[in-house]
Structure 1
Amino acid sequence: MKFPFIISGLAFVTLSAHAQLNIQLTSQTENPSIRKEGGVLEVQKTLNNNGSTNVAVKVYSHVTFPDGKTFVDAIPTELYLSPGESFTDSNSMLEVPASFPRGSYSYHYSVYNQDNSQILSDSITFEKKSRIIDVAVSHDSACGTDLTGTLCWKLTDGRLYTPAPEPIYDIKDIAINSKGGCAIVGKEVKCWSNRHYRTHVQSFWKALPSAVTFTDPQKIFVAHTYDNYCAIDGGEIICWSSGKWNPGAVNTAPPKYSELKNPSKIEIGRAAACIRHDDGIDCWGAKSSPTVSDVPTFTNPTHLIVGLDYACAKGDEGVKCWGKAPASELNAPELLPHTELRFGYPGIYSYDERGMSGWSTRPAQIGPYQMQELINPIDIDFDYGYVCALDDTGIVCGGRNNAANTVPERFKY
């Protein structure tokens, strides 16, 4: 199959009085990019002798990494070109493995004249995407995390900001809300807090309580609007808070994570957290919290969400809510097996192919905010009428205003 090639550059030089060469490197697309899993950059390399004498040359190519280091993809080829003769290099495929780091690369094709030692080169640039590991939505902002760190943007206008005081690389897991966040890097947990101004967001590192230590943190979770965090550390659950649910308070201990059957992610509220598993639902935190003390019995639970001072879940018994009002007055839509739940403003949201539904003291309303069809989605988050997901194409957003067009190019495969 033939493809039209885009000319990325043309190098031309007179190497002697009667030997005239030009070298040309072209790519199939105008702005080529390689997916996170790696792939092939298809190029065309040509060399022409437009002079009146024979010329002996060597042609070779190399890749320049984002950090400036070079990688030679093939050994030099020796050629002997007669006047008017052209050469098309059969080495037209550059294999880019998944191990190559994210960033901007340049691919160089060069010719060395063996008679007078002159070198002529042409080059093209391409982008190597990074594996995206997380997408989060909080109020009217979204954040994406790949192996090179986290970048956030306003879903209203696309304005970008970095949530942490300094870039954090090689993130294993991350949890973010509008107030700040925490990330797991290796076996270390780093946390920060944010101050939002009209034109920018300022971040500050935040020390963990002295009583909170980790041996092998794997996953981390954060409450929607509070500085409450939980982490899975080996087979244990560790939680901390800057409020009344702090390590020094009188708390109900969490269950042992390693003993739970098919545990869900941890849902965190103002003074308590809950987790769903095959045998029911466990909640822990401040002993004074009704979210901890009033947990109903659930058989085969399929859904769980924790709000400020209440929680709701669905099992064989149907949807039940517990804790402080207005939990008992919430009107839940029909929850499908794959319906996602989030707590946000002004209450609980559910999302599936029907759109977004808000739970309140009024009957639940489906939509009107919907998302384009997703391709193998692995993560989804939504709040305040906005929804973002991570699928095979990268991060996709929808909902209010112009959210679909605000996603940075960095998060598009």
Structure 2
Amino acid sequence: MTATPHDNAPIVSESGGRVYFSSSIGNNEGTVKNIKYYDYITFPNGKILSRSSPKKVSLLPNENFEKSTGYITVPENFGLGIYKYVLSAYDEDSGEISNTQFSFAKQSSIPKHKSCNDILRSGTSIDDGTYIIDVDGPEGPAYEISVYCDMTTNGGGWTLFANDRLATPLNPTHTVNYDNAGVLEDIYWQALKSGRSSLMVEEYRSFNSSPRYQSFISISKIRSSLAESLEPKNSASVNLFGTSYNDNAALILSNSSALGTHSKIFTGIVPGITFDRSYYPTSSYGRTISHMRVYIR
């Protein structure tokens, strides 16, 4: 089963428009399959809009049900952001449900800055809060995304890319909100980290409290002195933030990409070396920390 937009990374303007796509549901088995299918759209805020009631089709062995002229109408009153189109099929005989999807965006025609720091330097920032950025510019494949910007701490210009509740698995997302756990998807992270110089880590006792501890480190230092202490052939690690006794720290620089849930997002700052997520199994300091936010500038 497939659903493929006719344009790569389709974008609709703020005045609205259409996204054209092709879809296919196939039967690769040796018996007739009875399929119910339906589709829906997921909005940037997570709400769902059903496009149709379930329809039924019977497919002979090796038969495909194809539609090459599908389209999604995006009205002007739909908000800006990234949407998902989802096609779902239910096999009445086996009880299996299959899904396929693609993303499209509704964006403003006004060019956006690539980071919170670019916004700050342009003089267009207002205060800490949510801004729209385009991490790879208008010619890049990544959509514009909504990010939280810290425009006041230590000179400001910090882009939030990981919001880690320590007891909650991190899910990759195109929008890392101040109030929700998540980590920036790789396509956005790879562009965002290009040309940046510093990381900021905030550690909290509770999710809505003031930071208990703030740490800053230059990416150039990671590239040089810290990286030199790690040999790719072993599993050495260096504690970066927080307390370090018993090898406990807020972040750990390591050569093992298999460590933390979101280790991969740091790959590329130092080739072959990644950060593990926060690690506080026994530290008395760590037991007072419930979550952390990580920014880049």
> What is the TM-score with the length of structure 1 in the denominator?
0.30
Structure with the larger helix share: 2
**Greater radius of gyration (CA):** 1
Greater RCO between the two (CA within 8 Å, min separation 6)?
2
Structure with the larger strand share: 1
